[in-house]
Structure 1
Amino acid sequence: MSNLKNEGISEIIKEYSFDNLIKENFKFRIPLYQRKYAWTQDEVTTLLNDLLTFYNRNYNKKYFIGNIVVEEKESGFFDVIDGQQRLTTLYLIAKIIKQNIFELHYEIRPEDDEFLKDFENESKKLKADIKFRNNIDAILKLQKEQLSDNMSELENLLKLCKIVLTILPEGIDIVKYFEVMNNRGKQLEKHQILKAKFLEVLKNDNEINWAKIWDYCSNMNVYVEDYIYYNDLKDEKKIEKIRNDFRNFIKENKIPDLFKNKDDFNESKICILNILNNEIERDNNYKEESYVRKEYGSIVKFPIFLIQVLKIYQAKNNRDITNYKVNDRYLLDYYIEDNKLIFDTEEAKDKEEAKEFLKFLLKMRLLYDYFIFKRNEKDDPLLFEDKNLYSIKYANNKKNILMLQLLFNFTSPQYFAQDWISIVLAWLNKNIEYIGKDDFYTKFESFLEDFDKDLAKIRLSSNISIIEFINKKLIDLTETITDFNLTNLEKKLNKGTSTQHYWFYKLDYLLWKDYKKYWKKENNSIKILENVKIDNFRLKRLNSIEHIQPQNPEQNCKDWNNDEFNIDNFGNLALISNHMNSTLTNQCFDTKKKDIEKQLSKGTIESLKMLLVYSKYDKWTPENCKDHQEEMIGILKNSIIKTD
């Protein structure tokens, strides 16, 4: 590689394909001042899904990974200044498929550097950072579930990748460089560009402050009512204008005033019309920081929400949504054509449809506030009322609804997209007249359970994908799955660590919902009902499949030596956290049982399926495992075919 210190800017910033980086023998190094590899499984899966979507839609076109900034060193290394997360992830993918690859060295952690040099060495892998191990699992999981174990498909995805490499000369002041980069201001995000397009179309319309509508919807981590109450109403001069602007707007456009009666809310459960009608007295001791305490964690970002709402809106108006994919990469493509909003057409009757859409956006945002679960600062779902926060607002005692949404959340094909939300919002919009009635939550829960049955049936069918089904159901909410093969279930479950995680989550939901059927105090070998309150259990994000009878048992463990029953069968499996899996390792059943009891004493439950095994059986034999498997598969089958 030639020295680029004295070459022109065209040589300093160049485009490289993935293959070019290999052919030109690039040697990258992550220097000591960088942070560790930090990408999560979600980010890796999102990148791979995005690449796969791009590959299927734009075969042989360039997929730009982005700009990688490096400093050229006399030693021949290129120290990575910006972009190490993307570069390292591409490196991991290439190593997994055993493709020739550029060199990558880590100064930060010697253990990681050793692992990258000797990728298949299990002992070095165990010492490597957990992020490496988790993300390797994520890549392998996507390969199995979406690429049919086809290595060449991953290789084809890599060939699409293009990188813009900015090579800085050695000796540059790195601190100054970062300072300049951070101070020159952020580029406008796509949703901000979209906001400008809407306001441009509606610049002469005075019906309402449309910019406010957008701002209320875009702050996904604060309830809309709280935004108004704790932010806008701080300025006494604005109070009457805001009230006058929005009071009639909300009533006339049938935006849900869901809990306007005193019986439906207390001082901590305010709604928009209560605020606008001056029915809520503000706390005289109000302080700025009380607004911060109102924040929660939204499970989707605003660009994703915008695409979901657009799909609901277009489907409601009988327009084609088959090409919409919930990926913020395509946000502007879906909303803007020929540099104009898709609503800014002759058909839109003087841009009235742009207004109608923003009204609909606010309506969907309020339904999202009320009926989609939220997370706290630890990224846990909010289970109970806590400092005016609600996992599902006004439904904090409806845990079955929360559990179903957690089931959808953890098993969504694309974690960042959470496509199921669009179906739930579409149903709420269609059934809005039931909200507030006695039977509303019964209807809501029934709909969610029926939706999950369809998602289970899709996994037993090869005729339709989950995304295709969701698009069909948005057009017609009565759409259901009838063509599936229940006999496929056992085959799909008996795959060891390749078993789809969905079935473990669904089973744990069913075991939680009817747990009194499955635990009888007098028959438990550990006093499960004394140590743990199972009704307080919730689904958690888990990513490791445990073999109860170990694959490689310790020497003192009794080997089954049973050719009739494979330890990869579903009865011998449980979905748990990486941490618990590494704790249990290859221990015998009795030893594992003691560790489980210790965790129970701390109130920790990860898998009800596994807990049932340790509660019900004193010994773990092939016969007991077979009984357990038949019982668990029976529960799953009954839940799928149950019609009431």
Structure 2
Amino acid sequence: MMSSEAKYSLTLRELLESEHYKVPVYQRNYDWGKAQIEQLINDIQDYAEKENKQTYYLGSLIVHQRDDYFEILDGQQRFTTLSLLAMYLKSRLTEELSWYKNPNLSFESRPKSDTAIKQLFYRFALSGKGKEVEPSECSASIISGFEVIDTILSADNQNDNASLQRFADYLLKYVEILKIQVPKNTDVTHYFEVMNNRGEQLEKHEVVKASLLAVVQDDAQAMAVVQKVWLACSDMNRYAQAGFNVQERKAIFGDSAENFKVTDFASLVKAIALEGESKISDVPSFNSNLSFAEALEKGNVIKLNAGSDADEDEGRRERFSSVIDFPNFLMHVLRVYLLQESSSKRFALDDKELITAFKDCFSERGEEQAERVKGFIFTLLKSRYLFDRFVVKRENTSQEGSWSLKRYKLYSSGSSDYVDSFNTEKNAEENGEKHERGDTVSCLMLLSAFHVSYPTNSRKNWLSAVLHWLYTKEFCNAKDYLAFLEGLAKAFMVRRYLVEEPQDYSSFMYNDIKQMTAIPEAFTSQPDVLLGFLAYRKATVFVFNYLDYLLWKERRLEYNILDKFRFSFKSSVEHFSPQAPKANESLEHDYLHGFGNLCLMADADNSSLGNSSPREKSNILNGKRKSMAPLSLKLELMMQKATQKEKDWDFKAVETHGGEMLTVIIEELGVSGEKQF
């Protein structure tokens, strides 16, 4: 068994200089051809040519330790190809690969494959040393693989050893393979049947999963649960409950699958039906004799049998569209997990940092680290449940794809559906059904406002704050949730957008609501100066969406407009009165660029308006309502003013409208000051 200090991510040199590896007889012959080898080399060359050298993760190497060698259970095609690449490079770059003295790959009961490896190494890598043998005594596929490498690299580099040197340097230092050792009781003759033998680079989150599996590799049950939870959580467009059979759903999420019943990783193990016939009410302890292959097979099963366990969601997996992808969601879960540990580690909420962040947190081996991996996996599943129930999604089955805030519900008949997240009997009793529904819609509106303001998958700081707050609550009702969301929005305004030096998100968004929404001292001393940040280029997309939420909340427009209003993606902050009007009657600078003359539009809408006057823009937009998303509510108010009479949108209208809008913001934030816009 590998020691706790053993590395699980190896460079090519570390791999080829280390222990001996053998391909067992039950594995298929080497069969990579030109297509696979050329793709691998091209991918590595593409990475090698980048200015900032990035690690290229080739995939995984699953091994089982024998007395004096490692048996390759998965990854023999990659290992063989890498060995052939090293042999070729040694034949061209003898000094640079002087450390490569012998091939560390052999084949069980395959003399032709063994002979081919030795022949290629001695005849080419060692410049003709060793006796020559008949081609019929060698594996044709291995010889062909070497010839393909020779053809590709010779054509690319010809006699240019400097170019080949750069390729070799990157290959040996930056190409890494994940080495995972399975437990001793593994049924190795069946294991390879459940593993993937692709040659392409793994996605980043698959690399992370492999690294976590490596930490718990001595615990078959833990590996199976990690695998199953990962699969259930990785499809962000369907609810996590759909990744488990009905029995498991009831054990994890309750009889109606609406709650989260397990309390830690150990209870999660008991809830997952790894032994097949266990009952919900009396789940026996995990069978420690279950082989690793069997455990992985059970961990891989997510499609359910027909009958009472049939998942009605299977036919509608694309009903919902998530606001974030899985790799970036993992960064949020890692942040939530570290906050539980009161860790000072902080990583950018960006999947570019995914592998580095997880390697830094879970790079070691040992019992303590294995427990931390289990803790993270429990946090992953709980966070995903909270995300599914309490974070807005796009519901694609509804007209125009409206925003949705729903929970998964399992009925006694075995059918399932999605219902509003908060309209439970308990919430209705505590808050009154009518009030609760109003809070639910307000939560949905504010969550969608956050999302369209920060539409990229990465750096969704608001989502990190939301998940952390939800994770710390034993019970969440719509009233408390809305209070938190409104507090978070206020904190974004007063700590990010209305101050000269914006604060780091982490410095305020994990505090309690009172601390988070405390008004900075600067607002009481000079509020007018700070509110001046809403002038042109200081008013960001979030500021306009936050204002629209307040206008919607306070019912500042006619019902027919408010009823149809939904937040949509608008990224262009534009001048209502244009900077270069057709009549050459531009507003004075302070009014032209003031908050009262600015509005939020979709890029497509803005491009059709050009330098038209406010009245002309209003008429054009009113005529296109049926073919475009709802307009910004601030823009709706500006259009109403501009169409009342000719030349109504002058500096007085800009000043009046700007003052009215700032009043809405100031009163909500709880600050005072003259509205000089």
1:316 to 331, 340, 362: 340
Does the Cα contact within 8 Å between 2:394 and 2:403 map onto a contact in 1? Answer: yes
SS, match of residue 510 in structure 2: helix
User: Would you say the 8 A contact 2:405–2:421 is kept in 1?
Assistant: no
- Asked whether the 8 Å contact 2:572–2:602 carries over to 1, the reply is yes
Q: Tell me which residue corresponds to 2:533.
A: 492
1:589 and 2:614 aligned: yes
Corresponding residue to 1:329 among 340, 343, 352: 352
- Sort the Cα spacing of 1:600 and 1:464 in 2 relative to 1 into closer, same or farther, 3 A: closer
Name which one, 1 or 2, has greater alpha-carbon Rg.
Answer: 2
SS at match of 1:455: helix
Cα distance, 1:430–1:66 mapped onto 2, change above 3 Å = closer
Q: Partner letter of residue 253 of structure 1?
A: T
Ranges in structure 2 where 5+ consecutive residues have no aligned partner = 1-40, 58-152, 159-196, 268-278, 283-304, 409-415, 424-436, 673-677
Deviation at 1:377, TM superposition (A): 4.8
Name the CA distance, whole Å, in 2 between partners of 1:299 and 1:14.
30
Partner of 2:394: helix, strand, or coil?
coil
Whole-angstrom CA distance in 1 between matches of 2:383 and 2:407? 24
CA distance in 2, matches of 1:430, 1:376: 27
Is the CA contact (8 Å cut-off) linking 2:575 and 2:597 kept in structure 1? yes
Counterparts in 2 of 1:635 and 1:343: CA distance versus 1, 3 Å: farther
Relative distance call for 1:316 and 1:410 in structure 2 (3 A) is same
In 2, Cα distance between the equivalents of 1:276 and 1:615?
61
Kept in 1: contact 2:253–2:262 (CA 8 A): no
Change (3 A) 1:227 1:17: closer
> What letter matches 1:211 in structure 2?
Q
1:421 aligns with 2:450: no
Alignment of structure 1 residues 206-355 onto 2, 5 Å: 206=221, 209-228=225-244, 232=245, 251-253=261-263, 290-293=314-317, 295-321=319-345, 323-337=346-360, 341=362, 344-345=365-366, 348=368, 351-355=370-374
1:74-85 matches, cutoff 5 A: none
Q: 1:590-605 maps to which residues of 2 (within 5 A)?
A: 590-600=615-625, 604-605=629-630
**Alpha carbons 1:382, 1:391 under 8 Å: kept:** no
Change (3 A) 1:14 1:285: closer
Is contact 1:220–1:301 with CA below 8 Å preserved after alignment?
A: yes
| Partner of residue 465, structure 1 | 503
CA shift in 2, pair 1:627/1:417, >3 Å: same
Task: State the distance in 2 between where 1:299 and 1:605 align.
Answer: 20
Q: CA deviation at 1:476?
A: 6.1
Q: 1 CA distance for matches of 2:312 and 2:455?
A: 40
SS at match of 1:584: coil
Q: Deviations over 1:381-416 (max 9, x none)?
A: 534879988697456872211121122223349652
Q: 1: distance between equivalents of 2:407 and 2:370?
A: 43
How many residues are paired up?
A: 426
Counterpart for residue 600 of structure 2? 575
- 1:404–1:448 CA contact under 8 A, matched in 2: yes
1:641 maps to what in 2?
670
Mapped pair 1:553 → 2:581: yes
CA pair 620-312 structure 1, distance change in 2 beyond 3 A: same
Structure 2 vs 1, CA of residues 464 and 166 (structure 1 numbering), >3 Å: closer, same or farther? Answer: farther
Cα distance 1:595–1:390, how it changes in 2: closer, same or farther (>3 A)?
A: farther
Deviation string for 1:431-468 (max 9, x for gaps)? 22x33xxxx21111011101111110112224453433
Distance in 2 of aligned mates of 1:299 and 1:584: 30
The 1:479–1:343 alpha-carbon spacing in structure 2 relative to 1, beyond 3 Å, is: farther
- Residue 446 of structure 2 corresponds to 404
Letter in 1 for 2:341: N
**Partner residue, 2:571:** 543
* Contact 1:373/1:392, CA 8 A, preserved across alignment: no
1:245 & 1:407 partners in 2: Cα distance? 32
Deviation sequence 1:268-318 (CA, Å, 0-9, x none): xxxxxxx9689xx99889698853345421111222122211111211221
Identity percentage over the alignment?
24
Q: What does 1:42-53 align with in structure 2 at a 5 Å threshold?
A: none
* CA distance 1:391–1:600, change in 2 (3 Å): farther
**Amino acid of the structure 1 residue aligned with 2:316:** V
CA contact (8 A) 2:591 2:654 kept: no
- Would you say the 8 A contact 2:407–2:418 is kept in 1? yes
CA RMSD of aligned residues (A): 4.5
CA separation of 1:641/1:63 partners in 2, compared to 1, >3 Å: closer, same or farther? farther
Cα distance in 2 between the residues matched to 1:367 and 1:468: 21
Shift of 1:611: 0.7
For 2:651 and 2:608, how far apart are their aligned partners in 1? 23
